[in-house]
Structures are given as structure tokens and as C-alpha cells.
A and B are shown apart, each in its own frame.
Chain A
Amino acid sequence: MESLDFLLAGFAQAVTPVNLLMVALGALIGTLVGVLPGLGPTSAIAILLPLTGVLPPTQAIIMLAGIYYGAMYGGSTTSILLNIPGEVSSVPTCLDGYPLAQQGRGGPALGVAAIGSFVAGSLSVVGLVFFAPVLAEQALKFGPPEYLALMVMSLTMVVNLAGNSIIKALFMGLLGFLLSMVGLGPSTGVPRLDFGSSTLWGGLELISIIIGLFAITEVIKGIEEKRVAISPRQIGNVYPSSADLRQSSKAMLRGGVLGFFMGLLPGCSPAVTTFLAYDLEKKIAKNPERFGRGAIEGVAAPEAANNSTSSAGFIPLLTLGIPASPPLAILLGGLMIYGLTPGPILFQQNPDFVWTVIASMFIGNLMLLVLNLPLVGLWANVTRIPYGIMGPVILMLSVIGAYSVRNSLFDVSVAIVFGVLGYFFHKHHWPVVPLVLCFILGPLFEQSLIQSMAMSGGNPLILLERPISAAILILSLALLALSIKLKRRTKKRVIQEVGEAVDIAKCTG
């Protein structure tokens, strides 16, 4: 019941005009970038994170969360109208969405996607309200060894974010750790990895690295792929008929529930759950041969699963500090920039912040529905903006973003260098998300490691001697095995549908 009181207080905060404006802006910007081919939630959050620096933390995170789920929804527009899945998680939506668009029923498909996203997103936020505080309460018993075990569990995420080679992901993760250690050492204050330059004493700035690896790299990739503006076909009436809704309502619920519970597992991304939801619908359908030819349930279920997994990802993020997907990893960095370390303490020390953000997610989901249905035509037209305008503007915003965090031109250089490096990483299939994740978690990992070793007199077995840390380590192993199994399954399904291996961890830009 305490959760409900906090939630009501959160709603009271979330409905202030400024916060409502932030939710609306976030949802709109998110949808816009989700629609634009070549930009996605990860790069959108990366570019806009420093630009929200002028806002108070609550408003900034509300807006960034809006961008996140807005972009998730925006991705479905290009999947359905253009057969371009911005992310792997949107591939199942293409399978039936595009045939529906070809039949002149793109509008209802988009409508069902929006309603499915709303239903599932709201269901997940309800789950978040009840699950998150329970988890956070348990996590209050954590000491340094438990946090260290938790960091180890976060690293199981590397497998999920690994792309096609776990060993390459491990390399990138270790590189991320090493980069996070540039600067003054936490226990002695002695400069490390500074190459004799005092410029590096302040360490490398997360935002510069993220902007380089996601935004600048994405533009270089766009030039190489010769991205052009695309004109979508006629979309028809966007409001689904009652028959469409009847046909898809159960699929929405099934997709939403499946997506939510799978999303609770750290390491289970929307790419995994959307395929599972699509396959489930096909399996239980009376006429499975309709799937792939324009079955409305084939749009509703994966879209619902996509949105509910995205929202459920906030539970491990807010309560344990474990991000389930690349955009959430960037959001974790954003929280830390604002001095809000996700974890049980966040619920204790900043309940106003947490509950306002959660309440704003309810409102954001509603706004997505209300704003997006009438604006579907506009979003479809956005895909016509030439890349020759988009690319330069993204690059200019990237430079502003990199500079503005510390007013440092060195950070701009770092962003450009990582932009170029990101391009080579992309060409040679070295996944960049493990690098970012480990860069973010590096300082926490190091702090927990040093404190745990100091507590135990240098005995690493302390992790196994304490019941909670031992349990977390065992759970990490189980999750690792599950992640590998689900990843293999999704890889197989992607190859079946797309015809080639695609980086499952990839989340466009």
C-alpha cells in the first residue's frame, strides 16, 4: 500500500505543467527519432542527454524515458510502412505489418501497434509499481560483496549485448573497464593511465564516448549506406476497426505479459521477447498460415512484447542498476551524471524522483497513444527528410552535446575519435555496447572490489561465504546459461526471417 501512496504522490508531481511538457516532448522526440531511419533510442538519448543538463534531474530523466519508449514505438512505423526494422526487435513486426501496409491497411496496423504498446506499457508500469519496491527492499541488505556480486551479474549482460562473438564482447568490455579507470585512482588519488597529460586526470567523459560511438558512427555508416529519403505508400485510416481490436486484444495481452516477465530477467532484451511473442501467437493460432501474409495479431503481439519488455527493463535498472538494453545502459549513465546511482538506495533517498518518473511513464504511454494515432501521417512524412540535411544536423548536435558537459574541446576530440573508432568496430563486428556498459559500471565495480577485498583481508572467497552474494552469483550463472540459450534461439529465428545473421544486440544508433 505504501507503494500506492508514493505513486499517488508521484502522479501529483508528474501532472505539473512543466513535467507534462517534458513527457510530451520526450514522447514526441522519441517517436520522431524512432521514425527516422538511422536514428534510434540509443543515439537519441546519447545526443540529448547532455542537452538536458539545463533541466532539473527529474524533468531530464522523465524526458529521456519518454524518448526511450517513444523511439520504441516510432520504430514500428518504419517497420510497418517501409519494411525497415530500425532494430532487431522490430523484425517480427515487419513480418505481418508490411503485408498489411501493402494491402492498404497500414493505418490499422499502426493503430493496433500503438494500442498494443499502450496496453502492454501500462501493464508493465503496474508491475513496476509492485515489483520494484520489493526488490529494492531486499537489496537494502546489500554490502560491498553483494554489490560486487551484482556487478558480476550485470556482466552477464555482456553476453546478451555481445552480437555474434562473445570473445569480442569480452574484449570490448575489458576495454570499457580500462577506459573508465583513466584519471585519478579512487583510493590513492594518484593519476592512472594519464600518459603524463594532466588533461586526462579528469578521466574520459561518458557522454563523449557515447556520442562518438552511437551518433557520429551512425552518420558515417549512413554516408556509406547512401541513406536516402523514402516515400511511404498510402497508409489509409489509422483507427483500427472493432473487428481488428477484437482479433488482436488477446494477442496484445499475451505479448504484454510475456514481454513483462521475460523483461524482468536481467539480460533479456526486446529482440528476444518479440520473436517469442510472435512465435507464440503463430503456434496457438487457428490458422497459422495467415501469419506472414498480414495477420493483425502478428503486429499486436510483438509490439506489445516490445513495449512491455522495455518498461519492465526499468525494474532491474532502478532497483539494481542493471540495464537490460543499450538505451537503458545510456540512461543508467544519465542517472549517474545527475548523481542518482540506481539501486535500492535510490528508492530510499530519492523516492520523489523515482515515483515521479514511474508516474510519468503511465502518462507517457497515454500520450504516445493520444498523440501518435492522429500524427501517424506526419510521422510517415518525416521519413522524406533527406539524409543530406539529417546527417550534418546530427553531427552539429553531437559536437554541442560533447562540448557542453564540461565545456571542453578535448571532449569533442574524444567524441570524434570514438566516432571513427566506432565505424571500424562496426565494420569488424566488435560490439560497442559492452564497452559502454563496462565503462559505466567500471567505477562501481572497482569500488565494490576494493571494499570487499579490504573487508576480507584480500580473500575473494568472501563472495561465496555470504548467502546473498553467493545466491546472486549462482543466479548469474543460471542467467548466463539462459541468456546464451535464448540468444541462440533468437539468432536462428532472425536467420530464418531475414536470411542472414544480424547482430541481435544491435539497437540502431
Chain B
Amino acid sequence: MSQESILANRVGGTVAVIIGLGAISEAVRLYPLSPSPLAGDHTMIGFTGLGLLVIGLFFILSSQTPRFKVDYPSGKLRYLILAVVGALFMYRYLIPVLGYLISTFITLFILLKIMGQFHWLHSLLGGAIFTFVVYLIFVLWLGYSFPAGIIGI
């Protein structure tokens, strides 16, 4: 097995141990509130935490896991993926400020430009058409309610 793969499993194992310990401590916090030792809000959390702890330790201590190599994208492709994820987060935080429709138009323009590499005019047009269709279907027809933002649309 590649060293890289073993390291990834150990990182995963460490995360599992941390989550498991967190769950067990939450079970301990809830235990006094429960009506009986094995029947309460703490029961499942406790068992789940214990399971995660055991599996985490297994990953940290064992090298008997399937062998494979992980290749992450590099160069432009990496930036493209980061830009798309960044655009999604930007979209989420733009919605309450600019409202759903304007944010959708801006984000779709950016996504079409970077993912499709279309001419900016085509991307603008695509963003406008999609936003209009979304407005027709979801707002006018289906009656969905989206944040209006500070501009009020």
C-alpha cells in the first residue's frame, strides 16, 4: 500500500476517534437526564461514539485497508474547482443581501463563464434566461418564497 494511502487512512482514523470521543462525552452529559441506564437520549449516541472510537483506532493502528492511489487535480483544474465551490458559498451569502433573483443571475453568469468558458455575453444571456425561467416556474407558478434582499426583488 502507498504511504499516501496509509496516511489518509490515519487522518480518517484520527477524525473518527475525535468524533467518537465527542459523542461519548455528549452521552455522558445526557446520562443523568435519562430515565434509565439503557433507555434514553444518551444510549444511541454512546454506542455510536464507542463504535467510531473502535473503528478510528483500527484505521490508525492497521494497514490492512484496500490499496489505491489518490490523485488530486492540479494547476488550472484545481483553481476551477475551488472557484466553483467559492462561487457557491458566495451565492449563499449574497442571497440575503441582494435577494434571490439578482444573486442567481450573478452566480449563474460566473458559473457559465468559468465552467462552460462561454463568451461573457453568452454567459450573461444564459444567466438572465435561467433566472427568468426560475422566476416563472418557482416564484410565479409554484409559489416558492425566496429572500428579497435589500433591493426588495
Contact = CB atoms under 8 A, between A and B. Distances in A.
Interface string B77-99: 10011001100110110011000
Contacts of A386: 116
Interface in A371-407: 386-389, 391-393, 395-396, 399-400, 403-404, 407
Nearest to B87: A395
A460 B38 CA distance: 9
Contact of B30 (A168, A190, A429, A430): A190
Contacts of A413: 89, 92
A449 B43 contact: yes
A109 B18 CA distance: 53
Interface stretch (A64-72, A93-101, A172-180, A309-317): A172-180
Interface stretch (A181-189, A233-241, A345-353, A360-368): A181-189
A224 B23 contact: no
A171 interface: yes
Interface stretch (A259-267, A297-305, A450-458, A468-476): A450-458
Interface string B10-41: 00100010010001001000100111111111
A483 B56 CA distance: 25
Nearest to B88: A416
B148 interface: no
A181 B130 CA distance: 38
A165 interface: yes
Contacts of A445: 44
B36 to A, nearest CB: 6
A220 B111 CA distance: 12
A392 B108 contact: yes
Given A178-B19, A224-B81, A388-B118, A399 B91 contact: yes
Contacts of A389: 112, 116, 126
A84 B8 CA distance: 30
A396 B118 CA distance: 18
A216 B26 contact: no
Contact of A167 (B39, B49, B55, B70): B55
B3 interface: no
A264 B111 CA distance: 44
Interface of A: 51, 54, 164-165, 167-168, 170-171, 174-175, 177-178, 181, 185-188, 190, 192-193, 216, 219-220, 223-224, 226, 386-389, 391-393, 395-396, 399-400, 403-404, 407, 409, 412-413, 416, 419-420, 427-430, 442, 445-446, 449-451, 453-454, 457-458, 460
Kindly list the 5 A-B residue pairs having the minimum CB-CB distance in the complex, ordered from nearest. Answer: A388-B116, A185-B41, A392-B111, A453-B39, A458-B38
Given A188-B33, A409-B147, A427-B70, 17 more contacts: A171-B56, A175-B19, A178-B45, A181-B45, A188-B34, A192-B41, A193-B45, A388-B112, A388-B118, A392-B115, A416-B92, A420-B85, A429-B66, A445-B44, A449-B44, A453-B39, A457-B36
